[in-house]
Structure 1
Amino acid sequence: MTDLFQEPEDATPLEPSERDGLLQSWITIRSDLNEAEQENIVKAAVWARRRRVREPIDLLNDNFARMLHKRMFGEVWKWAGTYRQTERNIGIDAYRIPAVTPELLSDVCHWVEHRTYPSDEIAIRLHHRLVSIHPFPNGNGRHARLLADLLIENLGGDSFSWGGGSLADVGALRAQYVAALQAADGHDINPLLAFARS
Structure 2
Amino acid sequence: MSDPLFDPDDEAATPITPDERRQLIPTYITTRDQLNEAEQIGIAEADRWAFGRKRDVLDEDFLLTLHKRMLRSVWKWAGTFRTTERNIGIEAYRIGVELRGLIGDVRYWVENGAYDADEIAVRFHHRLVSIHLFPNGNGRHARLAADLLAVALGRERFTWGSANLVQAAETRARYIAALRAADNHDLAPLIEFARS
TM-score (norm 1): 0.95
Deviation at 1:188, TM superposition (A): 0.2
Partner of 2:93: 95
Q: Identity rate of aligned residues, in percent?
A: 56
Task: Give SS of 1:80's match.
Answer: coil
Query: Counterpart of 1:186 in structure 2: which amino acid?
Result: N
Superposition map of 1:1-198 within 5 A: 3-9=4-10, 10-53=12-55, 58-169=56-167, 171-198=169-196
Q: Distance in 2 between matches of 1:21 and 1:161?
A: 32
Letter in 1 for 2:129: V
- Alignment RMSD: 1.1
Unaligned runs of 5+ in 2: none
> Deviation string for 1:24-65 (max 9, x for gaps)?
111111111000000000000000111333xxxx21011001
The alignment partner of 2:51 has SS state of helix
Q: Partners in 2 of 1:51 and 1:105 — Cα distance?
A: 20
What CA distance in whole angstroms lies between the structure 2 residues aligned with 1:52 and 1:158? 15
Offset of 1:6 from its aligned partner?
2.8
5+ long unaligned stretches in structure 1:
none
Q: How many Å apart are 1:7 and its aligned residue?
A: 1.6
Q: What is the one-letter code of the residue matched to 2:6?
A: F
- How far 1:169 moved relative to its partner? 3.1
